[in-house]
Each structure stands twice: as structure tokens, then as C-alpha cells.
A and B are shown apart, each in its own frame.
Chain A
Amino acid sequence: MPGQRVDVRLTAEDGYTASREYSIASAPGEPLEITVQRIEGGEVSPYLTEEVRPGDQLEVRGPAGGFFVWDGAPDPMFLVAGGSGIVPLRSILRHRSRIGSQTPARLLYSVRTTADIIYRDELEKYGVRYTFTRQRPDGWTGYSGRVTPAMLADIAWPAGANPVAYVCGPTSFVETVASELTAIGYPPQRVRTERFGGA
């Protein structure tokens, strides 16, 4: 289902292995695609983003995960991404588009600058709304700064619409947005979260 993850395992010549989990970026039924952010000083992401060449084979296991997924339900979805948290949300929106679902969906994507946007052209088709936290594009009239309760009150489905929220990104981003959503009336069990990174 869209929103799931896979395990990628790399094996060195002496048998040493390293494994990491990645959110699936593609929609179900498409060739499997992951999007990897290079972490400075990381063990695996520098290899995947700099060394891997077309034609290389990688050992993958999965998909796994069953909660941060969309099963095609008709309830309005409010998707909130911080940085690389866009990856599983793109999978959900891509799947929704491929199956011709009428489920209403809104996407709020928080990035530092325009250079940090992933899947920019595709996200336009989903009506993405951005907020820029470090540098806005010239002439920008949209949101800026961190996601706030006022911003959510403006863009999120009202709680009365029985929406489900998917929030994904760095831990502190998710903590803030998830608690702000419960403050505007989203029941906690209707706020699904996936946190990347440490705290």
C-alpha cells in the first residue's frame, strides 16, 4: 500500500552488511522506486547517492509497515510533509491519481528553499501548497515560516469533515504539526505520523 517502506541491505566483500529502511516513493504496481537523502557522515546514504550506478543490483526486502498507509478510504486526507518527508506522501498521492480516486486530498509541504523541493512538477498536479522556512522565492505570496495553528486553520480540512492526516518529516516538525492538528480538533487516532531522524 502507498506509505510503506522497504529494507535495503548492502553486503561488502567480507560479508559485512548494513541495512536501512526507506519509504517507497513509487505507487503500488509501478517499478519500485525509493528516494534517498544523503546524510553527511552516513554509512549507507553516501553509497546510495554517490556510488550506485544504473544496472547495479541491491538487496531489498519488504514492503513493511501497515499504519502509515492509505488503503483507498474516501475520507478527506490532509498530508503534511517536512523536507524528505514528502516521499511516502508522494507515493500516496501518486497512487490516488493512478486509480482515479475521488478522495479529497490537500498537501502542505514545508521546505527551507525552492532548491529543497523534491518532485516539484508532479506535486503541482496535486495542488501542493508550500511554506518556505529559510528563503522564499521572489514575489512569493504564499505561506512562509514554520507550520503554525493559523496556517493549519487556513489549509487543513476542518475536523468536522472526518479527515485523516498524514504527517511525515523530521521528528521536531512532526511533533509540532501533530500536536497542532489535535489542537484544532483532529482526534489523535486520525493523525498518522512518520518521523525521520533523531531527537
Chain B
Amino acid sequence: MSPVTRGFRGRRNPESASRTPPGQYLTKDFPVLSAGPTPVTRLEKWTFSVTRGDATLRSWTWSDLRELPYDDVTVDIHCVTRWSKLDTRWRGVSIDTFLRDADLEDTVSGYVMAHSDGGYTTNLPLKDLTGGKAWVAYEYGGQPLAAEHGGPARLLVPHLYFWKSAKWVRRLDLMKVDEPGFWENYGYHMYGDPWREQRYDGD
């Protein structure tokens, strides 16, 4: 156990303790922690693609996206900077739906680099995006997703630290080998499981 901090009592939340990963605290806010300015993308120019290197396997426009079957999900989200927010409500299209729409549902192995407007990238195993675990989300709390929170659409992967839920996502590139994305290159963990506190490389 860590050395006791003299005089610190803290504030416990027994009802939500089991839903709060180690080292996290609950917030009712929704902090914004982007590394740079918020990109602006016009919907008529917006596309989302699945690629494999230089090959575009399938691409969807904004109207295509809005015609795909969507899920309304309520999930807990966990940021590596230690805040967690419970019961967040999103609407989005599951990555399973995209892969099925592109006849790629048999692709199960390998890794994905998510690419976003503004140059942000983050890497994940493909199996962490499938099986109902991830979406391209375009509504938050019943409203269109605000630009500073990743709108018009962001990746949503709630079982990993939220830097993996790439804001302003535009492309998923299928890779054979895992490669570090933006924050991973700065020393953040390649996988990022909040329940094992995988914040930094080597955790």
C-alpha cells in the first residue's frame, strides 16, 4: 500500500466504486483535452473509409452514414487524465455494421490505425472494434456531437481509455502489425485498458 498522506480523508462513492477503474475520479463535466485546435469539416465533404494501405476498401458519405442502422448506447467513459464519466449517451453506427456493409466481416485479425481530421491517429487491435464494442458516434446526449467533442463524428471505444476514441475520425486503416499512433508515440500505452491502468508504455 502507498504511504498514507497525512490528514487526507477523500470522498468515497460506494455506489459507483465498482464502475470506476483504478486511479480514476468521477466527473459530471465533459472535459476537452485535444492537443491542438478543433478541426472544422463540412458535412458535404465528409467521408469515412476503411482502407488497407493505399487501397480504399469502402467509403461512406455523410448521407450514407445516416442511412446505416444505428445504435443508441449508454456507456461509461474513462480518460487517461483520470476523469471518468458514467452513463454517457451516444448514437452511432457500430464498426461491425461498417465491416458488414463493406463485406469485410470475416476480417478478424490484425490492427487498425484510426485517422482523424487534423492529423490525429490512434492504434487498436481490430478485435477491439468488433463484436459490439465500438461505433462511429455522431450524437452525444441526444444532440449532434459538438465539434470540440469530436463532431461531426468520432470513434467511440468505451472499454479502452478515451484517447483511443479518436475525435473527428475519417478513416480506419487495416494493418498487419501494431504501430503507435499520436499519443502512443509520446509514451502512452499501445493498448490502454483502464481496468489494468495501462496509461503509459510499460504499465
Contacts and interface: CB of A to CB of B under 8 A. Distances in A.
A47 B148 contact: no
A195 B34 contact: yes
A19 B186 contact: no
Contacts, number: 109
B16 to A, nearest CB: 14
B133 interface: no
Given A12-B8, A16-B10, A193 B187 contact: no
Contacts of A198: 27-31
B35 A193 contact: yes
A84 to B, nearest CB: 14
Given A12-B4, A16-B12, A171-B148, A66 B34 contact: no
Interface stretch (B36-44, B48-56, B60-68): B36-44
Interface in A159-199: 171, 175, 178-179, 181-182, 188-189, 191-193, 195, 197-199
Interface string B176-200: 0000001001110000000000001
B18 interface: no
B37 to A, nearest CB: 4
Contacts of B30: 198-199
Nearest to A47: B8
A158 to B, nearest CB: 18
Given A20-B82, A51-B7, A67 B2 contact: no
Nearest to A197: B31
Nearest to A167: B37
B3 interface: yes
Given A11-B2, A12-B9, A51-B8, A66 B25 contact: no
Nearest to A180: B37
A16 B10 CA distance: 8
B6 interface: yes
- Which of B4, B23, B39 counts the most A-chain CB atoms under 10 A from its CB? B4
Contacts of A188: 36-37, 39, 118-119
A63 B38 CA distance: 26
Given A11-B8, A47-B7, A182-B37, 6 more contacts: A10-B10, A43-B25, A59-B2, A65-B186, A198-B27, A199-B29
29 contacts: A10-B5, A10-B8, A11-B1, A11-B4, A11-B8, A12-B10, A13-B4, A16-B10, A18-B8, A21-B81, A47-B8, A57-B3, A57-B5, A58-B5, A59-B2, A66-B185, A67-B186, A171-B32, A175-B38, A175-B148, A179-B38, A182-B37, A188-B37, A189-B119, A191-B37, A192-B35, A193-B35, A195-B32, A199-B32
Interface of A: 7, 9-13, 15-21, 43, 47, 51-52, 56-59, 64-68, 171, 175, 178-179, 181-182, 188-189, 191-193, 195, 197-199
